């Protein structure tokens, strides 16, 4: 069961906004000297809140099915070693190390890729990702020219 929590509001111009909480267990390491003990393989239960917004609903009256958001992320990352997911992460480029920041951005990108293929094309405007009881990151994609993100 998820802890019910109020998250920081995403700034966007849309009429509808939905939020999906989900969690997954995963191991990772951060291959940087600066990461200290986190250079060693260790695990977390990640708690994510994904925010999707838009003006148009689909044929079911959804912005996007909550279950689809969970399936996209949970199936991909639950009980995985993030560093082994070479489609999203690598151990050479810091912008692809599986840090909280990069994992949050990656979740947003995975969700947006799905949304871009839907008829109503809503936007993933925020991903809140908690890695430990004391550490979390919020990723908000920048507005793209010609879109309403942001």
Shortest separation between residue 117's beta carbon and ligand LPXRUNBV, angstroms: 30
Shortest separation between residue 125's beta carbon and ligand LPXRUNBV, angstroms: 22
Among 134, 142, 145, 146, binds ligand LPXRUNBV (CB under 6 A): 134
Among 20, 24, 54, 131, binds ligand LPXRUNBV (CB under 6 A): 131
Q: Considering only the stretches 7-15, 85-93, 129-137, 140-148, report the one whose residues sit in contact with ligand LPXRUNBV under the rule CB under 6 A.
A: 129-137
As given in the structure block, the two tokens for residue 116 are 């871009």
The residue annotated as part of the active site, out of 38, 74, 101, 114, is: 38
Site size for ligand LPXRUNBV (CB under 6 A): 10
C-alpha count within 13 angstroms, C-beta hemisphere, residue 90: 5
Q: What is the DSSP letter of 89?
A: -
Rounded Cα distance between 84 and 49, Å, is 23
Rounded Cα distance between 139 and 150, Å, is 11
Count of all residues that appear for the chain in the document? 150
């Amino acid at each position: 069961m998820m802890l019910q929590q109020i998250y920081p509001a995403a700034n966007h111009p849309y009429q509808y906004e939905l939020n999906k909480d989900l969690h997954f267990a995963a191991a990772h390491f951060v291959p940087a000297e600066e990461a200290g003990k986190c250079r060693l393989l260790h695990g977390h239960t990640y708690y994510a809140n994904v925010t999707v917004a838009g003006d148009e609903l689909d044929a079911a009256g959804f912005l996007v099915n909550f279950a689809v958001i969970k399936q996209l992320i949970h199936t991909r990352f639950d009980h995985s070693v993030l560093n082994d997911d070479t489609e999203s992460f690598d151990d050479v480029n810091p912008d692809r190390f599986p840090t909280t920041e990069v994992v949050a951005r990656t979740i947003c990108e995975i969700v947006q890729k799905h949304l871009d293929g839907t008829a109503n094309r809503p936007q993933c405007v925020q991903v809140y990702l908690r890695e430990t009881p004391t550490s979390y990151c919020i990723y908000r994609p920048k507005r793209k020219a010609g879109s309403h993100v942001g």
